[in-house]
Amino acid sequence: MAEHENNVPAPRHGPNRGGYQKPKDLRGTVGKLMNYLGRYKLQLILVAICILASAACNVGGAYLLRPLINDYILPGDFSGLAKMLAVMAGIFIMGALMSFAYARIMVHISQNTVAALRRDLFAKLQGLPLKYFDAHTHGELMSRFTNDIDTVSEAINNSFASLISCVATFVGTIAMMLYISPPLTLVTFAALAVMLAAVSGIGSRSRRSFTAQQKAIGTVNGYIEEMTEGQKVIKVFNHESAAIDGFRERNEAYRQASTSAQTFAGAMMPVMGNLSYINYAFTCMIGAILTIRSGDLGGLAIFLQYTRQVSQPVNQIAQQVNTILAAVAGAERIFEVMEAEPEVDLGKVTLVRVKYLPGGVQEETAIDTGAWAWKQPDGALIPVKGDVRFDHVVFSYDGKKTVLNGISLFAKPGQKIALVGSTGAGKTTITNLINRFYEIESGVITYDGINIRDIEKDSLRRSLGVVLQDTHLFSGTVADNIRYGRLDATDEDVEAAAQLANADHFIRHLPQGYQTVLSSDGGSLSQGERQLLNIARAALSNPPVLILDEATSSIDTRTEKLIEQGMDQLMAGRTVFVIAHRLSTVRNSRAILVLEQGEIIERGDHEELLDQKGRYYQLYTGQAELA
Ligand SMILES: Nc1ncnc2c1ncn2[C@@H]1O[C@H](COP(=O)(O)OP(=O)(O)O)[C@@H](O)[C@H]1O
Ligand SMILES: [Mg+2]
């Protein structure tokens, strides 16, 4: 069932919606990220310098403890000691300033980068075909913007610089330790080896449980989103307790996953802490023996200091690597969307405004004359009339199930053609194809004799007006919403369109008239009023061809009359495809096509079809249900 056609939330708690695995193509994705970061080359170099300087200050500043003890404290040179302390303080302050500097710069880089990512991702979404949105849920796409962008942001903000800083500190510390005492360093290496084994053991388990946790979050969020979107339906069908049960299940899975993830994460610190104390005790013991022989007390003090410091970066490196891997996986999902096949448009024929010169010659103009023409690549102008033809059109949404099976039909300029048939027969699909929302498998659709494949999509869609059953309004004023039909329309145009659509009257009775602000679903308006706005929107765009898909199906009786009048005025002089429940609204059509399972089984005008005593007759006389 087509999900966009009704509001019933289809359960989508499928397996792994987003896939929170490790990146599949680490190198490729990092390369793409680097394209974004590459814009900040100079800053990044500066960051690297600051990081190295800060690490050097930390490791080097600590080293000064050795001469401090050996040369000043032990001999009792207090004025020298004061000087030395000042130097040390200077170095540490320097290190702190450097850390502050690179952190600032990284914030700047990361925020600009993720803003660029968000911008490109959003722009990309606008260019994707409807087919893409059929296959990807809202929740999935939303999580590209939220979770995935967040992890990328977090990684660039902190992890990236931390990782480099940790590696630099680690290497610097080890170098200093080797310099002070190679034998003691061996003890440290042995301890580090044990720690690494522990880190990777706990780490891989913790990674696995974090992955499971991410997945569980996705499921819970998706469920909340679906159920909130479908609140009305849930209430109508008394599904609240079922919804709560469903939530309880997912919430419980999330709790279990989080508990195990946090358990491993929590185990890491104590285990590492204990290991490092054992290492410390060992080093102390051996160091004391060595010092008794060498007398380098300062050396021992600073070595012990390094011993305590050295395990810290090891810990952090593992953590940061995880965060960075998660970010790369997030970035990969973002790039997946960015690299999705965009809507292909090879159409070269465009829609232009024309004016008529004496002798009936047309000329392109920028002024709104109300007259349009198709401009061919060679510059030739073909007047827009609104002649639409299908010739043996075969179509399938998924490449498997044929939805339209050899449809042929024609609508001459100004004709009203009705499509009737039960739900799922393919009526809406026909209109989707005129709009070229989807590509047909075989056959031809022409518009004023031009294959619609040759018409630029924007132009094609501008020449078509669509009024659907589910009215979508955007947050903004009433006037803004009508102006959606033609962005450059003046206030007068907007009001004229509203009058034509019979919407003017109710709009004037709204608190702020045309300036009344609507929420994003127009919740404060009745279905009928929203529909009137939709009709006004279509009237404003003044299209030669109009598609009305069940436009009057869910209208309250109070507005029904208004809408029908509005519709009639809108339809006058245009080619119209009308799909309607109420056969009374299609009676006066020039031709009625009865569609069943993707095929036209009857065609003719109302009288002819009644005479045939076929399907239409059954529908009309109520012997068959029309959905
Ligand atoms: N976006 C879609 N993706 C896949 N199948 C779809 C989609 N939209 C409609 N269908 C299927 O195509 C068939 C025709 O649907 P539709 O044209 O909406 O019927 P109608 O408007 O006559 O009720 C149905 O079987 C429907 O489930
Ligand atoms: Mg339909």
Beta-bridge partners for 575: 545
Nearest ligand, measured from the Cα of 424: 1
Q: What's the gap between Cα 244 and its chain centre?
A: 27
The answer to whether the CB of 84 is under 6 A from ligand 1 is no
State the average pLDDT for the chain. Answer: 87
SS3 content of the chain, % helix, strand, coil (to 5): 60, 15, 25
Pairing of strands 416-420, 575-579: parallel
Angle at 530 between CA 525 and CA 532, to 5 degrees: 125
Nearest ligand, measured from the Cα of 421: 1
Per-residue confidence (pLDDT) for residue 413, from 0 to 100? 93
pLDDT above 70 for 12? no
Per-residue confidence (pLDDT) for residue 97, from 0 to 100? 96
Q: Tell me how far the alpha carbon of residue 15 lies from the centroid of ligand 1, in angstroms.
A: 24
- Of 395, 326, 317, 350, nearest to 153 by C-alpha is 326
pLDDT top residue among 243 and 2: 243
- Mutation to probe ligand 1, out of 5, 394, 403 (largest number of atoms < 8 A from CB): 403
According to DSSP, residue 127 is labeled T
Nearest ligand, measured from the Cα of 549: 2
- Atom in ligand 1 nearest the alpha carbon of residue 421: 22
The answer to whether the CB of 129 is under 6 A from ligand 1 is no
Per-residue confidence (pLDDT) for residue 4, from 0 to 100? 39
Pairing of strands 591-596, 416-420: parallel
Pairing of strands 372-375, 381-383: antiparallel
Highest mean pLDDT among 196-205, 260-269, 527-536: 527-536
pLDDT in tens, 218-263: 889 889 988 888 888 888 888 889 999 999 999 999 999 999 888 8
Per-residue confidence (pLDDT) for residue 1, from 0 to 100? 36
- Mutation to probe ligand 1, out of 400, 428, 470, 595 (largest number of atoms < 8 A from CB): 428
Walk me through the domains of the chain, giving residue ranges and CATH numbers.
Answer: 25-338 (1.20.1560.10), 350-383 (no CATH), 472-542 (3.40.50.300)
Name every residue whose Cβ is closer than 8 Å to that of residue 228 and which is 6 or more positions away in sequence.
none
Q: Which pair of tokens denotes residue 559?
A: 């507005």
> Measuring from atom 6 of ligand 1, which residue has the nearest CA?
2
What average pLDDT does the segment 20-43 reach? 87
Q: What's the gap between Cα 334 and its chain centre?
A: 8
According to DSSP, residue 10 is labeled P
Instruction: For residue 108, give the H/E element and its range.
Output: helix 78-126
pLDDT in tens, 337-386: 999 998 888 899 999 988 888 777 778 888 777 788 999 999 899 999 99
Q: Tell me how far the alpha carbon of residue 435 lies from the centroid of ligand 2, in angstroms.
A: 14
**pTM across the whole model:** 0.73
pLDDT in tens, 423-453: 899 999 999 999 999 999 999 999 999 999 9
Rounded distance, CA 498 to CA 162, Å? 60
Per-residue confidence (pLDDT) for residue 8, from 0 to 100? 31
Phi then psi dihedrals of residue 155, to 5 deg: -65, -45
pLDDT in tens, 476-488: 899 999 998 888 8
The answer to whether the CB of 2 is under 6 A from ligand 1 is yes
pLDDT above 70 for 3? no
By the 10 Å C-beta count (0-12 exposed, 13-18 middle, 19+ buried), 345 is classed as middle
The answer to whether the CB of 407 is under 6 A from ligand 1 is no
The answer to whether the CB of 420 is under 6 A from ligand 1 is no
Largest CA distance in the chain: 121
- Atom in ligand 1 nearest the alpha carbon of residue 549: 21
Q: Tell me how far the alpha carbon of residue 424 lies from the centroid of ligand 2, in angstroms.
A: 7
One DSSP character per residue, 541-569 reads: H--SEEEEESTTTT--HHHHHHHHHHHHH
Nearest ligand, measured from the Cα of 129: 1
Name every residue whose Cβ is closer than 8 Å to that of residue 295 and which is 6 or more positions away in sequence.
none
What average pLDDT does the segment 269-285 reach? 84
Instruction: Determine what percent of the chain is predicted with pLDDT higher than 90.
Output: 49
Per-residue confidence (pLDDT) for residue 558, from 0 to 100? 67
pLDDT above 60 for 62? yes
Token pair 């260019």 in the structure block, residue: 127
The answer to whether the CB of 429 is under 6 A from ligand 1 is yes
Q: Tell me how far the alpha carbon of residue 55 lies from the centroid of ligand 2, in angstroms.
A: 66
Q: Tell me how far the alpha carbon of residue 12 lies from the centroid of ligand 2, in angstroms.
A: 22
Per-residue confidence (pLDDT) for residue 17, from 0 to 100? 33
Neighbours of ion ligand 2 (CB under 5 A): 427-428
